[in-house]
Structure 1
Amino acid sequence: MLRPLAVAASLALAVLAMGCAGSSPHADNVAQETLDADYNNCQSRALVSTALIKSAGEAEDKQQEILDTCMQERGYSVK
């Protein structure tokens, strides 16, 4: 009885983890270390800037907006 429930829960967790795992950013003409540093800096800025937003969905949307703007300011573009 518990075994099917455990299997279903494990599968659901695996699917959720795969859906949440994003790919790392990539740039054709920039060293990966530079890109990672820029991305981490922008991500940190986004998290700090939205720390007081209570709604998780609203915070995530604003974080993505700040991250995109920050990366564009550094000369990156979205493909």
Structure 2
Amino acid sequence: MAQFIINKNVQANGDYEVHNLSAGCNYMPLPQNQIDLGEHSSCSGAVAAAKKQWPNDRINGCYYCCRACHTT
């Protein structure tokens, strides 16, 4: 299981990005801008959890550490 967070700051394209803390991403937001999503077996579970918590926001996986969940 990997640990996931979401960046609480919106990206320029309007997405909130999910990151895999366990992957050592170079584009990880600063700790004060991270919201814990817990442990998930894949980025799909983390993105689904974020969408459930914030249904009106655009949630996307980071291109670098959650590429399987990166859509825009």
TM-score w.r.t. the length of structure 2 is 0.28
- Greater relative contact order, per chain length (Cα 8 Å cut-off, separation 6+): 2
TM-score w.r.t. the length of structure 1 is 0.26
State which structure, 1 or 2, has the greater radius of gyration over its C-alpha atoms: 1
Q: Flag the structure with higher helix content.
A: 1
